[in-house]
C-alpha cells in the first residue's frame, strides 16, 4: 500500500511539474492566425522551421486505434527550429545542452475552450539555456502581438 501511495504521489508530482515547466500565453486569436504569426516570427528571427508536428491530427486520427473516444485538441501543432549561432553558444557552454535542440513552440486549441488559442514552450535550466528560453519567449509573444 505504501509503495502504491508513493507511486501515486510521484505520478502526481511529475504531472504537476511538467505543467509548471512551461511558459504559455492565451489569446482569442484563431489557431490559424496564431500559426501564421508564429511562422512569421520564426522567419523574422532569421531562423528556419525544421518541421511541423501535427500532434492534434495524429491524436484524433488514432484515438479509436488505442481504445479512446476523447478529443484532446481541436487543433495542435508543434514547430521545431534551431539557431546555429545560439545552439553553438549554448553547446560550447555545455555540450550536453544538445538534448534541448531543436527548439519547439506549440500552438493548441482545446475543445473545452474553443475560443482560446494557447501558444507555449518548455522552460530551460539556469545558465546558458536561458538564452534559448528568451528567444522562444520573444518569438511566442511576437506571434500573438505581445512584443
Tens digits of residue pLDDT in 6-37: 333 333 333 344 667 999 999 999 999 999 99
For 10-31, b/e burial (b = at least 16 CB within 10 A) is: eeeeeeeeeeeeebebebebeb
Indicate the domain borders of the chain: 22-143
* CATH of 22-143 given 3.30.300.30, 1.25.40.10, 3.40.50.720, 3.30.310.70: 3.30.310.70
For range 96-109, the mean pLDDT? 97
Q: What is the reported pLDDT for 104?
A: 98
Q: What is the pTM of this model?
A: 0.85
Computed over every residue of the chain, the mean pLDDT equals 89
Q: What is the reported pLDDT for 6?
A: 36
104 forms bridges with which residues in the sheet? 80
Q: How far apart are CA 117 and CA 143, in angstroms?
A: 12
Q: What is the reported pLDDT for 147?
A: 75
Q: Which of 106, 105, 88 is nearest to 97 (CA)?
A: 88
Amino acid at each position: 500500500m505504501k509503495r502504491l501511495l508513493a507511486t501515486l504521489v510521484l505520478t502526481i508530482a511529475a504531472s504537476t511539474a511538467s505543467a509548471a515547466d512551461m511558459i504559455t500565453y492565451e489569446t482569442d486569436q484563431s489557431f490559424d492566425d496564431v500559426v501564421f504569426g508564429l511562422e512569421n516570427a520564426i522567419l523574422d528571427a532569421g531562423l528556419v522551421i525544421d518541421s511541423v508536428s501535427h500532434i492534434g491530427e495524429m491524436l484524433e486520427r488514432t484515438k479509436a486505434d488505442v481504445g479512446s473516444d476523447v478529443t484532446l485538441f481541436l487543433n495542435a501543432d508543434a514547430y521545431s527550429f534551431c539557431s546555429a549561432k545560439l545552439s553553438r553558444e549554448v553547446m560550447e557552454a555545455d555540450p550536453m545542452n544538445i538534448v534541448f535542440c531543436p527548439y519547439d513552440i506549440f500552438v493548441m486549441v482545446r475543445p473545452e475552450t474553443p475560443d482560446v488559442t494557447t501558444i507555449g514552450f518548455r522552460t530551460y535550466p539556469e545558465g546558458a539555456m536561458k538564452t534559448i528560453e528568451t528567444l522562444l519567449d520573444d518569438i511566442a509573444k511576437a506571434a500573438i502581438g505581445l512584443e
